Structure 1
Amino acid sequence: MTPRETSRALLATLLALTLAAGVVDAVSFLGLGHVFTANMTGNVVFLGFSAAGAPGFSVPASGLAVGGFLVGALLGGRFGVVMEGRPRRLWIGGALAAEALLVGTAAVVTATGPGGEGRRFTTIAVLALAMGVRVATVRRLAVPDMMTVILTRTLTGIAADSRMAGGTDPYLGRRVGSVLAMTLGAAAGAWLVRRHGPVWPLALAAGGVALLAAGALLAPTTGVRRARR
């Protein structure tokens, strides 16, 4: 596989992860009570709403999501360090496999776990943990405008780097693709939650990420991760 093909494969993987993030946040917001498990900016804002007494928001839920995400990011960052000097496919595939396992666990908890707030908070924590692992991994990949869970910088780039603004539209395709993928994922997740509850969209997201993990692990080795200096 050429470097160009590898780059295209990686971009396709990141776009698929962006779509999955839309599904997960649709489940979180609509099925777990006004909380995000991928978009941490939203949770920080929700904490502010809660502090001001706005109805419909929960300090424990948003705080748990932020805490779980931080733990996941710590673990994802540590895994990246441990995998330095090894084939990149093992690092990416391992991180994606962990995400798929955690999202799948959240689906099982939602379907069979104890009811009430215990199930809700457990699902929030597990999903936030999964997203933290993912974002720490994507951050180390450092692909411009492909963070998979947030679009503020992407949307800014579409406008600020456009020809109308005097730019050259760099990365326009991936930027527009990210916006469309997130929108499609959120729409699909919302549709599934409203008609079938949260279990099916979580199971489908877990299955999709598992396929991405398998694809990464089975890809030909094209290089090793080098330690940062």
Structure 2
Amino acid sequence: MSAAEEASAAGARDPEVRGLRLVVVLLALTVVSGLIDAVSYLGLGRVFTANMTGNVVVLGFAAAGAPGFSVPHTATSLACFLLGAAAGGRVAAHVAAGSRRRWTRLTLAAEAVLVGASAAAAFTWPHTTGTRYALIALTAFAMGLRNATVRKLGVADLTTTTVLTMTLTGLAAESRLGDATSRRSPRRAAAVVAMFAGACLGAWLALHHGLGIPLLIAAAASGVLAVAASGRE
């Protein structure tokens, strides 16, 4: 065996190397989350369909009667997210450990279809109450399905692609200003940048071009990532 072949074989046995493609996929999915939350919060009545931490807080605002927030919209998002997560958990329970790439690919393909359907609704029936609820339900279900899958994958610092509180905590607490024990600061910083980039792009598109285009981009990205997630462990 040549030196190059030996290095390749060693890389194949290294879990960090084997998981590199998956890390890139999860970071890209974090960008998609930013896109979707920008659409939902700015275009669907101040409701999150990816970030459920924010959504619970928003539901509290709405329940207290704060202007500009809707209990039905937020409750719909939470319910559909939980249904999606339950579906993802049910599927995960029947997937063999050795087929996680296939399982991830199928989940992302389902996400692409769901978000694509929401984009089609946004283009076909814009500015209607039914469309608003359809977009909330479809994107929240897709995000719940994805989150359940990502959680089961158990990639360090990327166990969720929709919430950054613990990522930011780890980034600061384990930095040189904290206990200086971090070995994954680049990954954590990349997750924060990915979410920011997705939210910024999604907000700009939603404000200037409507909801259909950012949703279509999110669906296309999920489809591409479903292909990228394929391959051997």
Whether TM exceeds 0.5 here: the answer is yes
Q: How far off its partner does 1:85 sit?
A: 4.6
Q: How far off its partner does 1:133 sit?
A: 0.4
Give, in whole Å, the separation in 2 of the partners of 1:137 and 1:33. 28
Residues 1:4 and 1:52: Cα distance change in structure 2 (over 3 Å): closer
Q: How far off its partner does 1:47 sit?
A: 1.1
Indicate yes or no: 2:186 matched with 1:173: yes
**Which amino acid in the other structure matches residue 177 of structure 2?**
M
**Which amino acid in the other structure matches residue 145 of structure 1?**
D
Q: TM-score, normalised by structure 1?
A: 0.92
Q: How far off its partner does 1:83 sit?
A: 1.6
Give, in whole Å, the separation in 2 of the partners of 1:181 and 1:56. 28
Give, in whole Å, the separation in 1 of the partners of 2:127 and 2:30. 30
Q: How far off its partner does 1:89 sit?
A: 1.6
Indicate yes or no: 2:41 matched with 1:46: no
Q: How far off its partner does 1:163 sit?
A: 2.1
In the alignment, what sits opposite 2:76? Answer: 64
In the alignment, what sits opposite 1:158? Answer: 171
Written as runs of structure 1 = structure 2, the 5 A alignment for 1:1-40 is 2=12, 3-40=15-52
Residues 1:67 and 1:99: Cα distance change in structure 2 (over 3 Å): same
Indicate yes or no: 2:196 matched with 1:189: no
Q: How far off its partner does 1:167 sit?
A: 2.7
Residues 15-69 of structure 1: CA deviation (Å, up to 9, x unaligned): 0000000000000011111000000111111111112111000000000000000
C-alpha RMSD of matched pairs (Å): 1.4
Indicate yes or no: 2:226 matched with 1:213: yes
Give, in whole Å, the separation in 1 of the partners of 2:66 and 2:73. 14
Indicate yes or no: 2:74 matched with 1:55: no
Give the total of aligned pairs: 220
In the alignment, what sits opposite 1:227? Answer: none
Larger Rg: 2
Residues 1:7 and 1:204: Cα distance change in structure 2 (over 3 Å): same
Any gaps of 5 or more consecutive residues in structure 1?
A: 223-229
Give, in whole Å, the separation in 2 of the partners of 1:50 and 1:111. 28
Q: TM-score, normalised by structure 2?
A: 0.91
Give, in whole Å, the separation in 1 of the partners of 2:221 and 2:161. 15
Say which SS state the counterpart of residue 82 (structure 1) adopts.
Answer: coil
Written as runs of structure 1 = structure 2, the 5 A alignment for 1:77-226 is 77-113=89-125, 115-146=127-158, 147-217=160-230, 219=231, 221-222=232-233
Residues 1:177 and 1:35: Cα distance change in structure 2 (over 3 Å): same
